[in-house]
Structure 1
Amino acid sequence: MALLAGCSSIANHRGYIVDETLVASVQPGLDNQQSVRGTLGQPTMTSMFGDPVWYYVSSITGQSPFRQPTIAQHTVLAVRFDGAGNVVSTDRTGMELVENISPNGDETPTLGRERGFLEDLFGNIGTVGTALPGTGGAGGGG
């Protein structure tokens, strides 16, 4: 029994905890930003451009021993406001918009030349303390 208990998956909730009763109480045309904040709380994030949109993000992940966590459930509630701060609409999306990405190995590819360990270690020898011509620094003859 003890061995089987150690192999079970661990569920973890991240983000906003969705209360269906509170979400259903937000009505377009009746509520504004102040009433939404009082009902749903502080949003997870807000839009930076265009009409204001508040996002409430919720995820439930599962993780088996010695494995990466996987998303079991994901919900985003978007509350859209007009210029006056009144609720225009509420939209909910789920797992259909979650995108799985796979990183490119252990390194991030960058532009530029490849440098070795010794070049990184000794690459600045001779350049410390010298100034560019016309800057008035050491060796410039000012």
Structure 2
Amino acid sequence: MAVIRLAHAVLAAGPSLRRSGLALVLGVAIAACSPVIRNHGYVPAEDELAQVVVGSDTRETVGQKIGRPSTSGLLNDEGWYYVQSRYRHVGPRQPKEIERQVLAITFNQAGVVENIGRFGLEDGKVVEISRRVTETNVKGLNLIQQLLGNIGQFNPGMLQE
């Protein structure tokens, strides 16, 4: 809206100011549509990760060498997951994830590093970890149909234990 108001003000000005003003409005409009890159999360660099020795380091030593992750195993504490994403924002459009790195460090029962794996956006697919939508198991029936559907289905034997 501000760009439109500015354009109207420029058009109402004199001819010499019009050119300068239109150039300014065009510059503002182009700058508003330029992409903004945002980084989220943390994945240790290769030189930091080289300090971790598979079969030797424990949870404590990994935490001291490269830091603890913000995410660990969901159902059990067998792994640590470092996640970093890069998003591209352009104007009012929804952000698009353009890069993702996941570093997975798994531990055995004794807490010693068992495996280190690095995955990218191309290695996987979006997995929904948590869903906060309650779905009904009654499909296609409204409240009146549900109530009327129960009439005549009374069984006196259900009252006896």
User: Which TM-score applies when normalising by structure 2?
Assistant: 0.59
Note if 1:13 corresponds to 2:39.
yes
Unaligned runs of 5+ in 1: 102-106, 116-142
**How many residue pairs get matched?**
111
Q: Compared with structure 1, are the counterparts of its residues 94 and 36 closer, same or farther at alpha carbon in structure 2 (3 Å cutoff)?
A: same
Query: What is residue 150 of structure 2 aligned with on the other side?
Result: none
- The structure with the greater share of residues assigned to helix is 2
Match of 1:39 among 65, 77, 81: 65
Which residue number corresponds to residue 93 of structure 1? 119
The structure whose Rg is larger is 2
Distance across 1 between alignment mates of 2:92 and 2:135: 27
Q: Is the 8 A contact 1:51 1:83 kept in 2?
A: no
> Aligned in 2, Cα 1:9/1:29: closer, same or farther, shift over 3 Å?
same
CA offsets per residue over residues 83-114 of structure 1, 9 Å max, x none?
A: 1111111001111213389xxxxx97533454
Structure 2 stretches lacking a partner, 5+ long: 1-26, 144-161
1:2 paired with 2:28, answer: yes
Q: C-alpha separation between the residues in 2 aligned to 1:51 and 1:44?
A: 13
Within-5 A mapping of 1:75-86 = 75-86=101-112
Question: Aligned runs of 1:36-115 on 2, under 5 Å?
Answer: 36-49=62-75, 52-95=78-121, 96-99=123-126, 110-112=136-138, 113-114=141-142
* Cα separation, 1, equivalents of 2:68 and 2:80: 9
Structure-1-length-normalised TM-score: 0.66
SS in 2 for 1:2: helix
What value does the CA root-mean-square deviation take over the aligned residues? 2.6
Structure 1 CA distance for aligned equivalents of residues 29 and 116 of structure 2: 46
